[in-house]
Amino acid sequence: MLCEFEESWPLSEAQSGIWFVQESDPESPVLNNGERYELRGNLDVEAFEKAVATMVSESESLRMRFFVTDDGPRQCLDPDREYPLRIVDLSEDPNPEGAVQARVREELSSPLDMVHDPLYAHTLFRLGEDHYVWYQQAHHLIVDGYTFMLLARRVAEVYSGLVAGADIGEPLGSFRDLMTQTESYESGPERQEDARFWTEYLDGAPQHTALKRHEGKIGKRVLSSSRYVSAEQLARIEQVAELQGTRWKQLMMALTAVYTHRWTGEEDILLGLPVTGRTTELSRSVPSMCSNVIPLRLNIGPSRSVAAVAQDVAASLRSCLSYQRHPVTATKRLLGQTPQNMREFGPLINIMSFDYDLKFGDLSCEGDLLAQGIIEELRINVLHRRGSLRIVFDANSAVFTEEELDQYADSFIRLLDFLCQNPSALVGEMDLASEEQLSRVVNEFSVGESRIFADRSVHEVFQERVAQAPDAVALVF
Protein backbone atom coordinates (compact mmCIF):
# COMPACT_ATOMS: atom_id res chain seq x y z
CA MET A 1 0.00 0.00 0.00
CA LEU A 2 1.24 3.48 -0.91
CA CYS A 3 0.17 6.50 1.04
CA GLU A 4 -2.33 8.72 -0.78
CA PHE A 5 -1.41 11.79 1.22
CA GLU A 6 1.46 14.20 0.72
CA GLU A 7 2.93 14.20 4.23
CA SER A 8 4.29 11.10 5.92
CA TRP A 9 6.64 10.28 8.81
CA PRO A 10 8.95 7.44 9.75
CA LEU A 11 7.96 5.34 12.73
CA SER A 12 9.35 6.38 16.09
CA GLU A 13 11.84 4.01 17.71
CA ALA A 14 9.09 2.78 20.04
CA GLN A 15 6.79 2.09 17.10
CA SER A 16 9.60 0.43 15.13
CA GLY A 17 10.11 -2.13 17.88
CA ILE A 18 6.41 -2.99 17.87
CA TRP A 19 6.35 -3.19 14.08
CA PHE A 20 9.25 -5.66 14.13
CA VAL A 21 7.56 -7.88 16.75
CA GLN A 22 4.28 -8.00 14.81
CA GLU A 23 6.03 -8.59 11.49
CA SER A 24 7.96 -11.51 12.97
CA ASP A 25 4.65 -13.22 13.85
CA PRO A 26 1.78 -11.74 11.81
CA GLU A 27 -0.77 -14.20 13.22
CA SER A 28 -0.14 -13.24 16.84
CA PRO A 29 -2.76 -11.08 18.60
CA VAL A 30 -0.61 -10.24 21.64
CA LEU A 31 -0.16 -6.61 20.54
CA ASN A 32 -3.88 -5.93 20.79
CA ASN A 33 -4.64 -3.59 23.69
CA GLY A 34 -8.06 -3.22 25.27
CA GLU A 35 -9.91 -1.45 28.06
CA ARG A 36 -13.52 -1.34 29.20
CA TYR A 37 -15.53 1.21 31.17
CA GLU A 38 -18.68 0.18 32.99
CA LEU A 39 -21.25 2.98 33.06
CA ARG A 40 -24.31 3.02 35.30
CA GLY A 41 -27.04 5.62 35.09
CA ASN A 42 -29.23 7.32 32.51
CA LEU A 43 -26.79 7.48 29.59
CA ASP A 44 -27.60 9.94 26.78
CA VAL A 45 -26.52 7.68 23.92
CA GLU A 46 -26.67 10.44 21.29
CA ALA A 47 -24.42 12.71 23.38
CA PHE A 48 -22.08 9.79 24.02
CA GLU A 49 -21.79 9.11 20.27
CA LYS A 50 -20.96 12.79 19.68
CA ALA A 51 -18.35 12.73 22.45
CA VAL A 52 -16.68 9.65 20.98
CA ALA A 53 -16.72 11.18 17.48
CA THR A 54 -15.12 14.36 18.85
CA MET A 55 -12.36 12.34 20.52
CA VAL A 56 -11.61 10.41 17.32
CA SER A 57 -11.54 13.61 15.23
CA GLU A 58 -8.96 15.10 17.64
CA SER A 59 -6.81 11.94 17.86
CA GLU A 60 -4.51 11.98 14.86
CA SER A 61 -2.70 8.82 15.95
CA LEU A 62 -5.95 6.83 15.65
CA ARG A 63 -6.31 7.98 12.04
CA MET A 64 -2.80 7.06 10.95
CA ARG A 65 -2.32 4.66 8.06
CA PHE A 66 0.86 2.63 7.71
CA PHE A 67 2.67 1.58 4.56
CA VAL A 68 5.94 -0.02 3.57
CA THR A 69 8.66 1.65 1.51
CA ASP A 70 12.14 0.64 0.41
CA ASP A 71 13.41 2.66 3.39
CA GLY A 72 11.14 0.93 5.88
CA PRO A 73 7.61 1.47 7.23
CA ARG A 74 6.10 4.94 7.36
CA GLN A 75 2.86 6.51 8.54
CA CYS A 76 0.54 9.15 7.16
CA LEU A 77 -2.56 10.89 8.47
CA ASP A 78 -5.91 10.07 6.88
CA PRO A 79 -8.06 13.10 7.80
CA ASP A 80 -11.24 11.32 6.66
CA ARG A 81 -10.77 8.11 8.62
CA GLU A 82 -13.63 7.53 11.05
CA TYR A 83 -14.45 4.92 13.68
CA PRO A 84 -18.23 4.94 14.14
CA LEU A 85 -19.32 3.76 17.56
CA ARG A 86 -20.80 0.27 17.35
CA ILE A 87 -23.85 -0.11 19.61
CA VAL A 88 -24.83 -3.63 20.67
CA ASP A 89 -27.96 -4.23 22.74
CA LEU A 90 -27.54 -7.27 24.99
CA SER A 91 -30.32 -6.40 27.42
CA GLU A 92 -32.40 -9.41 26.33
CA ASP A 93 -29.48 -11.81 26.67
CA PRO A 94 -29.83 -14.12 29.70
CA ASN A 95 -26.17 -13.45 30.54
CA PRO A 96 -25.26 -10.03 29.12
CA GLU A 97 -21.95 -9.74 31.01
CA GLY A 98 -20.89 -13.15 29.72
CA ALA A 99 -21.81 -12.07 26.20
CA VAL A 100 -19.66 -8.94 26.54
CA GLN A 101 -16.71 -10.97 27.77
CA ALA A 102 -17.06 -13.48 24.92
CA ARG A 103 -17.20 -10.68 22.33
CA VAL A 104 -14.17 -8.94 23.83
CA ARG A 105 -12.15 -12.18 24.00
CA GLU A 106 -12.91 -12.85 20.34
CA GLU A 107 -11.80 -9.39 19.25
CA LEU A 108 -8.65 -9.36 21.37
CA SER A 109 -7.65 -12.77 20.03
CA SER A 110 -7.93 -11.69 16.37
CA PRO A 111 -4.59 -10.51 14.90
CA LEU A 112 -4.55 -7.20 13.04
CA ASP A 113 -2.78 -6.46 9.77
CA MET A 114 -0.91 -3.20 10.42
CA VAL A 115 -1.21 -2.07 6.80
CA HIS A 116 -4.70 -3.13 5.80
CA ASP A 117 -6.82 -3.38 8.96
CA PRO A 118 -8.31 -0.57 11.05
CA LEU A 119 -6.15 -0.44 14.16
CA TYR A 120 -8.78 1.02 16.48
CA ALA A 121 -12.38 0.10 17.29
CA HIS A 122 -14.90 0.74 20.04
CA THR A 123 -18.29 -0.63 21.06
CA LEU A 124 -21.02 0.49 23.42
CA PHE A 125 -22.78 -2.53 24.93
CA ARG A 126 -26.19 -2.08 26.55
CA LEU A 127 -26.51 -4.71 29.29
CA GLY A 128 -29.77 -3.49 30.76
CA GLU A 129 -31.64 -0.42 31.86
CA ASP A 130 -29.10 2.23 32.91
CA HIS A 131 -26.24 -0.26 32.52
CA TYR A 132 -23.64 0.04 29.74
CA VAL A 133 -20.09 -1.03 28.94
CA TRP A 134 -17.90 1.03 26.63
CA TYR A 135 -15.07 -1.05 25.20
CA GLN A 136 -12.15 0.27 23.16
CA GLN A 137 -9.44 -1.75 21.46
CA ALA A 138 -6.34 -0.68 19.53
CA HIS A 139 -3.08 -2.06 18.25
CA HIS A 140 -0.08 -1.18 20.38
CA LEU A 141 1.43 0.53 17.34
CA ILE A 142 -0.85 3.54 17.89
CA VAL A 143 -1.65 3.51 21.62
CA ASP A 144 -0.22 2.74 25.03
CA GLY A 145 -1.83 2.59 28.47
CA TYR A 146 -1.53 6.33 29.00
CA THR A 147 -3.22 6.97 25.65
CA PHE A 148 -6.26 4.89 26.61
CA MET A 149 -6.56 7.05 29.72
CA LEU A 150 -6.30 10.22 27.61
CA LEU A 151 -9.00 9.01 25.20
CA ALA A 152 -11.40 8.00 27.95
CA ARG A 153 -10.82 11.22 29.87
CA ARG A 154 -11.53 13.29 26.76
CA VAL A 155 -14.77 11.40 25.99
CA ALA A 156 -15.88 11.91 29.59
CA GLU A 157 -15.08 15.62 29.42
CA VAL A 158 -16.93 16.17 26.14
CA TYR A 159 -19.93 14.09 27.19
CA SER A 160 -20.22 15.95 30.49
CA GLY A 161 -20.09 19.29 28.67
CA LEU A 162 -22.71 18.25 26.13
CA VAL A 163 -25.29 16.99 28.63
CA ALA A 164 -24.77 20.06 30.82
CA GLY A 165 -24.80 22.53 27.95
CA ALA A 166 -21.37 23.70 29.06
CA ASP A 167 -17.89 24.07 27.58
CA ILE A 168 -16.31 20.81 26.36
CA GLY A 169 -12.74 21.77 27.20
CA GLU A 170 -9.54 21.99 25.19
CA PRO A 171 -8.89 19.53 22.32
CA LEU A 172 -6.20 16.88 22.48
CA GLY A 173 -2.68 17.78 21.37
CA SER A 174 -1.33 17.40 17.83
CA PHE A 175 0.41 14.16 16.87
CA ARG A 176 2.24 15.99 14.08
CA ASP A 177 3.67 18.46 16.59
CA LEU A 178 4.72 15.54 18.76
CA MET A 179 6.51 13.89 15.82
CA THR A 180 8.47 17.12 15.25
CA GLN A 181 9.38 17.20 18.94
CA THR A 182 10.40 13.52 18.87
CA GLU A 183 12.63 14.00 15.82
CA SER A 184 14.32 16.92 17.58
CA TYR A 185 15.00 14.75 20.63
CA GLU A 186 16.37 11.81 18.63
CA SER A 187 18.89 13.99 16.79
CA GLY A 188 19.73 16.38 19.60
CA PRO A 189 21.94 16.69 22.68
CA GLU A 190 19.27 15.43 25.13
CA ARG A 191 19.38 11.98 23.53
CA GLN A 192 23.18 11.97 23.85
CA GLU A 193 22.97 12.97 27.52
CA ASP A 194 20.46 10.17 28.15
CA ALA A 195 22.83 7.67 26.53
CA ARG A 196 25.71 8.85 28.73
CA PHE A 197 23.61 8.36 31.86
CA TRP A 198 22.51 4.84 30.97
CA THR A 199 26.02 3.83 29.92
CA GLU A 200 27.32 4.74 33.37
CA TYR A 201 24.32 3.37 35.27
CA LEU A 202 24.53 -0.05 33.56
CA ASP A 203 28.29 -0.45 33.62
CA GLY A 204 29.01 -4.04 34.66
CA ALA A 205 25.33 -4.99 34.87
CA PRO A 206 24.02 -8.39 33.69
CA GLN A 207 22.48 -8.44 30.20
CA HIS A 208 19.13 -9.35 31.75
CA THR A 209 17.55 -11.08 34.74
CA ALA A 210 15.24 -14.03 34.10
CA LEU A 211 13.03 -15.83 36.59
CA LYS A 212 13.12 -18.99 34.47
CA ARG A 213 15.35 -20.38 31.76
CA HIS A 214 13.74 -19.88 28.37
CA GLU A 215 14.54 -18.80 24.81
CA GLY A 216 12.57 -15.56 24.79
CA LYS A 217 9.91 -16.83 22.38
CA ILE A 218 6.57 -15.04 22.62
CA GLY A 219 3.48 -17.21 23.01
CA LYS A 220 0.28 -16.48 21.12
CA ARG A 221 -1.63 -15.60 24.27
CA VAL A 222 -1.04 -13.96 27.61
CA LEU A 223 -1.85 -15.85 30.79
CA SER A 224 -3.30 -13.79 33.61
CA SER A 225 -3.88 -14.33 37.32
CA SER A 226 -5.21 -11.64 39.70
CA ARG A 227 -4.89 -11.10 43.42
CA TYR A 228 -6.65 -8.41 45.46
CA VAL A 229 -5.49 -6.17 48.27
CA SER A 230 -8.28 -4.64 50.36
CA ALA A 231 -8.40 -1.03 51.48
CA GLU A 232 -7.46 -2.19 54.98
CA GLN A 233 -4.46 -4.14 53.66
CA LEU A 234 -3.39 -1.19 51.51
CA ALA A 235 -3.50 1.04 54.58
CA ARG A 236 -1.11 -1.38 56.29
CA ILE A 237 1.23 -1.35 53.25
CA GLU A 238 1.22 2.47 53.34
CA GLN A 239 1.99 2.36 57.05
CA VAL A 240 4.95 0.00 56.48
CA ALA A 241 6.21 2.21 53.67
CA GLU A 242 6.02 5.27 55.93
CA LEU A 243 7.98 3.42 58.62
CA GLN A 244 10.66 2.73 56.02
CA GLY A 245 10.76 6.33 54.83
CA THR A 246 9.26 5.68 51.42
CA ARG A 247 5.91 5.37 49.61
CA TRP A 248 3.80 2.31 48.87
CA LYS A 249 4.68 2.34 45.15
CA GLN A 250 8.41 2.21 45.86
CA LEU A 251 7.78 -0.48 48.47
CA MET A 252 6.00 -2.63 45.86
CA MET A 253 8.96 -2.21 43.52
CA ALA A 254 11.34 -3.18 46.30
CA LEU A 255 9.23 -6.24 47.03
CA THR A 256 9.41 -7.21 43.34
CA ALA A 257 13.20 -6.96 43.54
CA VAL A 258 13.29 -9.16 46.65
CA TYR A 259 10.90 -11.58 44.94
CA THR A 260 13.20 -11.75 41.90
CA HIS A 261 16.25 -12.31 44.10
CA ARG A 262 14.54 -15.10 46.01
CA TRP A 263 13.49 -16.88 42.81
CA THR A 264 16.82 -16.50 41.01
CA GLY A 265 19.48 -16.22 43.72
CA GLU A 266 21.02 -13.34 41.77
CA GLU A 267 22.22 -10.29 43.69
CA ASP A 268 22.88 -7.80 40.86
CA ILE A 269 19.45 -7.79 39.30
CA LEU A 270 17.51 -5.81 36.72
CA LEU A 271 13.80 -5.09 36.74
CA GLY A 272 11.86 -3.63 33.86
CA LEU A 273 9.94 -0.47 34.75
CA PRO A 274 7.29 0.69 32.24
CA VAL A 275 7.20 4.49 32.01
CA THR A 276 5.07 6.90 30.01
CA GLY A 277 8.03 8.36 28.12
CA ARG A 278 6.23 11.69 28.34
CA THR A 279 8.45 14.37 29.81
CA THR A 280 6.94 17.42 28.06
CA GLU A 281 3.58 19.14 28.35
CA LEU A 282 2.86 18.43 24.68
CA SER A 283 3.57 14.70 24.95
CA ARG A 284 1.24 14.43 27.95
CA SER A 285 -1.65 15.79 25.86
CA VAL A 286 -1.21 13.68 22.70
CA PRO A 287 -2.63 10.18 22.15
CA SER A 288 0.23 8.12 20.73
CA MET A 289 2.58 5.23 21.35
CA CYS A 290 5.18 6.89 23.58
CA SER A 291 5.56 4.42 26.44
CA ASN A 292 8.97 3.02 27.21
CA VAL A 293 10.66 0.57 29.56
CA ILE A 294 13.70 1.49 31.61
CA PRO A 295 15.92 -0.82 33.68
CA LEU A 296 15.93 -0.55 37.44
CA ARG A 297 19.22 -1.96 38.75
CA LEU A 298 19.37 -3.13 42.35
CA ASN A 299 21.89 -4.99 44.50
CA ILE A 300 20.19 -7.41 46.85
CA GLY A 301 21.58 -9.92 49.33
CA PRO A 302 20.09 -11.96 52.17
CA SER A 303 21.58 -9.74 54.87
CA ARG A 304 20.01 -6.52 53.55
CA SER A 305 16.74 -5.25 54.95
CA VAL A 306 13.73 -4.72 52.72
CA ALA A 307 13.70 -1.13 54.00
CA ALA A 308 17.21 -0.61 52.59
CA VAL A 309 16.12 -2.03 49.24
CA ALA A 310 13.13 0.34 49.22
CA GLN A 311 15.47 3.28 49.85
CA ASP A 312 17.64 2.11 46.93
CA VAL A 313 14.55 1.96 44.73
CA ALA A 314 13.63 5.54 45.65
CA ALA A 315 17.18 6.74 44.91
CA SER A 316 17.27 4.92 41.55
CA LEU A 317 13.94 6.40 40.53
CA ARG A 318 15.16 9.89 41.33
CA SER A 319 18.15 9.28 39.08
CA CYS A 320 16.55 7.33 36.24
CA LEU A 321 13.19 8.94 35.53
CA SER A 322 14.75 12.08 34.08
CA TYR A 323 16.25 9.90 31.33
CA GLN A 324 13.16 7.83 30.53
CA ARG A 325 12.92 8.85 26.87
CA HIS A 326 16.02 6.89 25.89
CA PRO A 327 14.65 4.15 23.56
CA VAL A 328 14.51 0.73 25.14
CA THR A 329 16.27 -0.95 22.20
CA ALA A 330 19.19 1.48 22.50
CA THR A 331 19.40 0.82 26.24
CA LYS A 332 19.46 -2.93 25.63
CA ARG A 333 22.37 -2.48 23.22
CA LEU A 334 24.30 -0.83 26.06
CA LEU A 335 23.91 -4.12 27.94
CA GLY A 336 25.48 -6.03 25.05
CA GLN A 337 22.21 -7.36 23.69
CA THR A 338 21.98 -7.78 19.93
CA PRO A 339 18.99 -7.31 17.59
CA GLN A 340 18.92 -11.09 17.11
CA ASN A 341 18.71 -11.75 20.85
CA MET A 342 16.85 -8.88 22.52
CA ARG A 343 15.49 -9.74 25.98
CA GLU A 344 13.50 -7.87 28.59
CA PHE A 345 15.63 -6.30 31.32
CA GLY A 346 13.90 -8.48 33.90
CA PRO A 347 10.47 -9.01 35.45
CA LEU A 348 8.26 -6.00 34.75
CA ILE A 349 6.67 -4.10 37.63
CA ASN A 350 3.98 -1.75 36.34
CA ILE A 351 2.39 0.57 38.92
CA MET A 352 -0.77 1.91 37.28
CA SER A 353 -2.33 4.76 39.19
CA PHE A 354 -3.95 6.59 36.27
CA ASP A 355 -7.19 8.31 37.20
CA TYR A 356 -9.95 5.89 36.15
CA ASP A 357 -12.56 7.60 38.32
CA LEU A 358 -13.93 9.41 35.28
CA LYS A 359 -17.00 11.60 35.38
CA PHE A 360 -19.47 11.03 32.54
CA GLY A 361 -21.99 13.60 33.73
CA ASP A 362 -23.69 12.08 36.76
CA LEU A 363 -22.98 8.47 35.69
CA SER A 364 -20.81 6.17 37.76
CA CYS A 365 -17.84 4.75 35.87
CA GLU A 366 -15.42 1.93 36.59
CA GLY A 367 -12.52 1.28 34.21
CA ASP A 368 -10.64 -1.96 33.73
CA LEU A 369 -7.51 -2.88 31.79
CA LEU A 370 -8.06 -5.96 29.60
CA ALA A 371 -4.88 -6.39 27.56
CA GLN A 372 -1.62 -4.48 27.34
CA GLY A 373 0.95 -5.64 24.80
CA ILE A 374 3.58 -8.35 24.72
CA ILE A 375 5.26 -10.06 27.64
CA GLU A 376 8.48 -12.01 27.35
CA GLU A 377 8.29 -13.56 30.80
CA LEU A 378 6.31 -11.95 33.66
CA ARG A 379 4.69 -8.57 34.22
CA ILE A 380 3.22 -7.55 37.57
CA ASN A 381 0.56 -4.86 37.12
CA VAL A 382 -0.44 -3.05 40.30
CA LEU A 383 -3.72 -1.22 39.68
CA HIS A 384 -4.81 1.35 42.26
CA ARG A 385 -8.59 1.57 42.19
CA ARG A 386 -10.92 3.20 44.72
CA GLY A 387 -8.58 2.82 47.68
CA SER A 388 -7.62 -0.82 47.07
CA LEU A 389 -5.21 -2.70 44.84
CA ARG A 390 -5.67 -5.29 42.15
CA ILE A 391 -2.41 -7.07 41.36
CA VAL A 392 -2.49 -8.73 37.94
CA PHE A 393 0.22 -11.23 37.06
CA ASP A 394 0.51 -11.47 33.26
CA ALA A 395 2.78 -14.13 31.79
CA ASN A 396 4.05 -15.40 28.47
CA SER A 397 2.26 -18.66 27.68
CA ALA A 398 5.46 -19.96 26.06
CA VAL A 399 7.24 -19.71 29.44
CA PHE A 400 4.61 -20.36 32.12
CA THR A 401 1.73 -22.77 32.54
CA GLU A 402 -1.38 -21.54 34.33
CA GLU A 403 -0.46 -23.62 37.38
CA GLU A 404 3.05 -22.16 37.48
CA LEU A 405 1.70 -18.62 37.16
CA ASP A 406 -0.60 -19.17 40.13
CA GLN A 407 2.39 -20.45 42.11
CA TYR A 408 4.43 -17.36 41.27
CA ALA A 409 1.49 -15.07 42.06
CA ASP A 410 0.86 -16.76 45.41
CA SER A 411 4.53 -16.48 46.38
CA PHE A 412 4.48 -12.71 45.71
CA ILE A 413 1.44 -12.25 47.95
CA ARG A 414 3.12 -14.43 50.58
CA LEU A 415 6.11 -12.07 50.63
CA LEU A 416 3.82 -9.05 50.82
CA ASP A 417 1.90 -10.48 53.79
CA PHE A 418 5.14 -11.39 55.59
CA LEU A 419 6.53 -7.89 55.08
CA CYS A 420 3.36 -6.28 56.44
CA GLN A 421 3.72 -8.40 59.58
CA ASN A 422 7.49 -7.88 59.80
CA PRO A 423 8.39 -4.39 58.49
CA SER A 424 12.04 -4.71 59.55
CA ALA A 425 12.51 -8.09 57.82
CA LEU A 426 15.79 -9.02 56.17
CA VAL A 427 15.72 -10.30 52.60
CA GLY A 428 16.99 -13.71 53.71
CA GLU A 429 14.02 -14.08 56.05
CA MET A 430 11.52 -13.75 53.20
CA ASP A 431 10.37 -17.21 52.11
CA LEU A 432 8.62 -17.96 48.84
CA ALA A 433 7.27 -21.31 50.00
CA SER A 434 4.15 -21.79 52.10
CA GLU A 435 4.17 -23.84 55.32
CA GLU A 436 2.45 -26.65 53.41
CA GLN A 437 5.14 -26.64 50.72
CA LEU A 438 7.92 -26.63 53.31
CA SER A 439 6.26 -29.52 55.10
CA ARG A 440 6.18 -31.52 51.89
CA VAL A 441 9.91 -30.94 51.40
CA VAL A 442 10.65 -32.28 54.88
CA ASN A 443 8.11 -35.09 55.05
CA GLU A 444 7.85 -36.29 51.45
CA PHE A 445 10.79 -35.27 49.30
CA SER A 446 13.40 -35.99 51.97
CA VAL A 447 12.18 -39.53 52.68
CA GLY A 448 14.71 -42.21 51.70
CA GLU A 449 17.80 -44.01 52.77
CA SER A 450 20.17 -41.91 54.88
CA ARG A 451 23.89 -42.59 55.05
CA ILE A 452 26.59 -41.00 57.20
CA PHE A 453 30.00 -40.20 55.71
CA ALA A 454 32.10 -39.30 58.73
CA ASP A 455 35.37 -39.23 56.85
CA ARG A 456 34.37 -37.06 53.88
CA SER A 457 32.86 -33.65 53.25
CA VAL A 458 29.70 -33.10 51.19
CA HIS A 459 31.52 -31.93 48.07
CA GLU A 460 33.81 -34.98 48.17
CA VAL A 461 30.81 -37.32 48.30
CA PHE A 462 29.25 -35.41 45.41
CA GLN A 463 32.42 -35.62 43.29
CA GLU A 464 32.60 -39.36 43.96
CA ARG A 465 29.04 -39.80 42.75
CA VAL A 466 29.74 -37.73 39.62
CA ALA A 467 32.66 -40.00 38.79
CA GLN A 468 30.44 -43.07 39.18
CA ALA A 469 27.52 -41.79 37.11
CA PRO A 470 28.39 -38.62 35.20
CA ASP A 471 25.13 -38.64 33.19
CA ALA A 472 22.79 -39.04 36.18
CA VAL A 473 20.39 -36.27 37.16
CA ALA A 474 21.90 -34.23 39.99
CA LEU A 475 18.92 -32.09 40.97
CA VAL A 476 15.31 -31.61 39.93
CA PHE A 477 13.87 -28.20 40.90
If you ran DSSP here, which 8-state letter would residue 283 be given? Answer: G
Instruction: Name the burial class of residue 403, with classes exposed (0-12), middle (13-18) and buried (19+) by CB atoms within 10 angstroms of its CB.
Output: exposed
Instruction: Name the burial class of residue 325, with classes exposed (0-12), middle (13-18) and buried (19+) by CB atoms within 10 angstroms of its CB.
Output: buried
The CA distance from 415 to 302, in Å, is 14
The CA distance from 263 to 23, in Å, is 33
Terminal Cα distance for the chain, rounded: 52
Q: According to the model, what pLDDT value does residue 385 have?
A: 78
3-state secondary structure of 184: helix
The CA distance from 37 to 40, in Å, is 10
The CA distance from 38 to 33, in Å, is 17
CA–CA–CA angle 399, 403, 404 (5° rounding): 45
The CA distance from 430 to 408, in Å, is 14
Is the separation of the CB atoms in 304 and 313 below 8 Å?
A: no
pLDDT per position in the chain (477 positions), as tens? Answer: 455 566 889 998 889 989 988 998 899 898 999 999 999 999 999 999 999 999 999 999 999 999 999 989 999 999 889 899 999 999 999 999 999 999 999 999 999 999 999 999 999 999 999 999 999 999 999 999 899 999 999 999 999 999 999 999 999 999 999 999 999 998 999 999 999 999 999 999 999 999 998 877 888 888 999 999 999 999 999 999 999 999 999 999 999 999 999 999 999 999 999 999 999 999 999 999 999 999 999 999 999 999 999 999 999 999 999 999 999 999 999 999 987 788 899 999 999 865 567 889 999 888 887 877 778 899 999 988 778 999 999 999 999 999 999 999 999 999 999 999 999 999 999 988 766 655 554 455 455 555 555 566 666 767 776 776 676 767 654
Q: According to the model, what pLDDT value does residue 220 have?
A: 81
Pairing of strands 120-128, 86-89: parallel
Buried/exposed 454-472: b ≥16 CB within 10 Å, e otherwise: eeeeeeeeeeeeeeeeeee
Q: Which residues does residue 135 pair with via DSSP β-bridges, in sequence order?
A: 36, 123
Sheet with strand 72-77: strands edge to edge: 9-10, 72-77, 64-69
Q: According to the model, what pLDDT value does residue 364 have?
A: 87
Q: According to the model, what pLDDT value does residue 92 have?
A: 95
The CA distance from 417 to 83, in Å, is 46
Is the separation of the CB atoms in 216 and 375 below 8 Å?
A: no
Q: According to the model, what pLDDT value does residue 458 have?
A: 67
Torsion over CA of 221, 37, 80 and 175, rounded to 10 degrees? -80
If you ran DSSP here, which 8-state letter would residue 112 be given? Answer: -
